[in-house]
Structure 1
Amino acid sequence: MNRLARPLARRSAARTLIAAVACATLLAGCGGAADDKGTETKPKSGDAAAAAFPVSLTNAWGTTKVDKKPLKVATVSDGDTDIALALGIVPVITPDAEDGGPVPEYKQRAITKLGAGKLKTYDDTDGTDFEAIAAEAPDVILGMNTWSMETEYAKLAPIAPVVTYTDKKHADTLTWQERLRNAAKALGMKDEAEKVIAANEKATADAAAAHPEFKGKTYTYAVVHPEQLTFMSYADQDPGVFEQLGLRKTDKAKNYTADKNSVSLENLDQLDADVLLMTYPFGDNGLLSASELESNKVFQSLGAVKGKHYAVIPSENTLSSAVAYPDALSAPWVVEKLTPILAKAVAGR
């Protein structure tokens, strides 16, 4: 998703303060929404390894036609940049998702591997810079991860074919696998996309196999937002990386939904589980600090806390953001960083 506009985004707190409504893809990994299938021209040969061109894809605002295999790709969101990098493409221009700050570790790894040095970016403080994108004369523009397409499509389409979702609601509901696959159709890289998905699934499966102690342990994942403490692992939340690694939601999750997910300080017992995971992505702008919560007597009485089965998922290294909004590039890194945190929490260390 477009991390420019969500609570766990890799942005400054001033630009990310948003009501704590969990989107359908929070924690999402491999399950969930219906595929965003477009109308695609059939390959002219039996070689399914590469899409034939031209390719036509239906989107929510019309039809995107890509006449030949794109060489120059522009992106309009951080998630779209990650799609390009995961497929081995260095975008000709991207939004500056880090506001000039350090690039997340998993992204820097990909950039270094591709020998790209530093990505060319535009300042997106005031939104998409259409002139900067047009100046790069891209062959296609990736917009699979943005909520701004309804207002931006008409401005982007004259620049280059726009690769985006077929239904406006898919801005929220598509999994990262579906976004990757749809982008790959327009790029003639369907096989490459499947290899990325398979590698990510293997990384998760290998981590789960290495930690059989995770299997069946209940968990609660809670986030301290500016206006509330949010029960993020509610019952209807799509299974994500925690469950892919073997954990399962606590029975208390049935008491919460996307629209009813606030936990009062008087009801902190609702957080208890075999493993309690917290994150504080807003720092000083959060409802309360880690020290304030951890000094609360009700919180201290929780079985998970007393048994040391409690852990904080860091936000400084963008892990909490990547857990919330996984994509083709960040997913294996999330598993790499999250697994030792879970291992300590499960063991009570």
Structure 2
Amino acid sequence: MNQRDPRISRRDVVRGLSILAAGPWLLSCAATTPSDGAPGSNAAPDQEAAFPVTLTHKYGTTTVTAAPKRIVVVGLVEQDALLALGIVPVATSQWYEAPGGVFPWATEALGGAPLPTVLDNSSDGVPVEKVAALEPDLIIAVYSGITKKEYDLLSKLAPVAAQPGDYVDYGVPWDEATLTVAAAVGKPAAGQALVDRVRDKIAKAGEEFSGGTGAIVSPYEGVYVFGPEDPRGRLLQQLGFDFPSALLEGRPKNAYGWSLSAERAVDLDDLDVVIWLDTEQQVDSSLGKVWTSTKANVEGRDIYITPQGDEIYDAAFNMVTPLSLPYVLDRYVPQLRAAADGDPATKVPA
């Protein structure tokens, strides 16, 4: 992924800075696609061809005049929304590695369709020439950080659904991203139904955690904080955990995340849950007693999510899509429950 934030690579930090060498998994494992995130079969036909549709985004507006047939995804996760709506893109963009950018929780939605091409955007930004060669009639960049220059170049090829201007780059909420994708492909009713199903699952899962506090962090340059505008941070809040105000001190403007000094690990002391995107060994090695002496650590309120633990779960946790969320919640909620009880004898499930 090309990262426009000069302070840190989003691809690096979300996977845990110390474990970037973890290899990809193969999709030969059994696919698991929860019904809560599966494509809907009861979409209202009177709304499913809503063209032309005009989308508002960071760089202005884009009008899609007809149902697209060749969709290229240059954002990092929007293929899941498309697949959930019964549409297979011709290309996706590489973030976590999976054939075609289609992950185990989404393979059922793929059906027997050919796998999309995967675009490598890891070095020089969006590969515009490769996108052009795919002859797209819609380019989706909602969960992205494309620049104005890239947007202008891509707009010469096809209508571009770019990231919204109301959020930091890579900070659009999963539900808003899904609704934008659904509108762009003329399926607003199906998109709303999909979002409603997953929102309901999140709401029910979060009933037991209301009023707690929690944060998602990484031991990068001290303590890297994934803020309240980060999709994973938003999910934690939707599950009932408030973001701690102390961690906002030192936050740069328009940032989805930021680094605090290692000494600031003491600010995690009273949290009900602390989710580390790295291994326990790396966290302890990086922060030492300033972390291990906190109540959050001593009382077992910590959770560790890494590719070394489970690559598929790690990817699903970080992608935050209408298909990955039901997959994640089945495992994440028991982890949160065990961590939040404050009893060090309660083992947090892997």
Q: Map of 1:287-302 to 2, 5 A cutoff?
A: 289-293=282-286, 296-302=288-294
Is structure 2 residue 103 aligned with structure 1 residue 112? no
Q: Distance in 1 between matches of 2:131 and 2:171?
A: 27
Q: Distance in 1 between matches of 2:339 and 2:129?
A: 49
Structure 1 residues 246 and 196: CA distance shift in structure 2, 3 A: same
AA matched with 1:343: R
Q: Distance in 2 between matches of 1:2 and 1:190?
A: 30
Structure 1 residues 289 and 102: CA distance shift in structure 2, 3 A: same
In structure 1, the partner of 2:39 is none
Structure 1 residues 105 and 157: CA distance shift in structure 2, 3 A: closer
In structure 1, the partner of 2:326 is 332
How many residues in Structure 1 have an aligned counterpart in Structure 2? 308
Contact map agreement 1:51 1:185 (CA 8 A) in 2:
no
Structure 1 residues 306 and 104: CA distance shift in structure 2, 3 A: farther
Unmatched segments (≥5 aa) in structure 2: 22-43
Q: Map of 1:125-140 to 2, 5 A cutoff?
A: 125=122, 126-140=124-138
Structure 1 residues 15 and 299: CA distance shift in structure 2, 3 A: closer
Q: Distance in 2 between matches of 1:248 and 1:105?
A: 33
Q: Distance in 1 between matches of 2:275 and 2:190?
A: 35
AA matched with 2:269: D
SS in 2 for 1:78: coil
Q: Distance in 2 between matches of 1:192 and 1:343?
A: 32
Give per-residue Cα distances to partners, 1:282-310, cap 9 Å, x unaligned: x7xx9x8234157x334332222222222
Q: Distance in 2 between matches of 1:133 and 1:230?
A: 34
Q: Distance in 2 between matches of 1:263 and 1:158?
A: 41
In structure 2, the partner of 1:275 is 272
Aligned to 2:224, which of 211, 218, 230? 230
Q: Distance in 2 between matches of 1:313 and 1:104?
A: 24
Q: Distance in 2 between matches of 1:104 and 1:245?
A: 31
In structure 2, the partner of 1:304 is 296
Q: Distance in 2 between matches of 1:14 and 1:304?
A: 23
Give per-residue Cα distances to partners, 1:81-134, cap 9 Å, x unaligned: 233223221111122333xx4469983221333213633223333332333323
In structure 2, the partner of 1:42 is none
Deviation, structure 1 residue 329: 3.3
Q: Distance in 1 between matches of 2:67 and 2:98?
A: 32
Deviation, structure 1 residue 73: 1.2
AA matched with 1:308: G
SS in 1 for 2:51: coil
AA matched with 1:119: P
Structure 1 residues 130 and 266: CA distance shift in structure 2, 3 A: closer
Structure 1 residues 197 and 142: CA distance shift in structure 2, 3 A: same
Unmatched segments (≥5 aa) in structure 1: 17-45
Give per-residue Cα distances to partners, 1:216-257, cap 9 Å, x unaligned: 3333432211x22124457x9896222322223446446453
Deviation, structure 1 residue 189: 0.7
Q: Distance in 2 between matches of 1:318 and 1:279?
A: 17
Structure 1 residues 220 and 136: CA distance shift in structure 2, 3 A: closer
In structure 1, the partner of 2:206 is 208
AA matched with 1:121: V
| Range moving further from structure 2, 4-13 or 87-96 | 4-13
Q: Distance in 2 between matches of 1:224 and 1:194?
A: 37
Q: Map of 1:150-169 to 2, 5 A cutoff?
A: 150-165=148-163, 167=165
AA matched with 2:295: G
Percent of residue pairs bearing the same amino acid type: 25
In structure 1, the partner of 2:190 is 192
Q: Distance in 2 between matches of 1:65 and 1:83?
A: 20
Q: Map of 1:21-60 to 2, 5 A cutoff?
A: 49-60=47-58
| Range moving further from structure 2, 252-261 or 49-58 | 252-261
Structure 1 residues 257 and 91: CA distance shift in structure 2, 3 A: same
Structure-1-length-normalised TM-score: 0.72
Q: Distance in 1 between matches of 2:172 and 2:127?
A: 25
Q: Distance in 2 between matches of 1:220 and 1:61?
A: 32
AA matched with 1:176: W
Contact map agreement 2:72 2:138 (CA 8 A) in 1:
yes
Structure 1 residues 271 and 318: CA distance shift in structure 2, 3 A: farther
Structure 1 residues 217 and 161: CA distance shift in structure 2, 3 A: closer
